[in-house]
Structure 1
Amino acid sequence: GEFGKVEEVKESLDLAYMIKETQNLFKGIVEGSSRSMQIVKDLRTFSRIDEIDGVIQFMCNPCGKLSE
């Protein structure tokens, strides 16, 4: 009957493998998000340090000319 078909499909899909891989996928997403958040935080800190020291102006315009 219908239950037999469901079991057939369930076995053919290898749900245990799919669940494990889905968990690994979400773990990777969480790790990547954490790394991205840390990079953004570090860039904010870096940009504030550069603004204080006036380095951003020098880095963007080393010849002393105004950008157009």
Structure 2
Amino acid sequence: MYALDISGAAWEGAPGTSPDEERVEIARLPEGAVAMRSSLDKDTVLRYTKAEWDAFVLGARDGEFDLR
């Protein structure tokens, strides 16, 4: 395990959400990787490789995570 330097990361939330409400934020990292965190817990950051992120996005678009 290694420390991930995200000090210069530009975090983005969903369009139309208020910075005061809880939301998921993502930051694009070098080589296509993506970091994700909750706006209320900025110290807990999940990091995904480009392949992992692409698989997640494709699954979301395909309805893989829809509630039934």
Structure-1-length-normalised TM-score:
0.24
**Which structure has greater strand proportion?**
2
**Which structure has greater helix proportion?**
1
Structure-2-length-normalised TM-score:
0.24
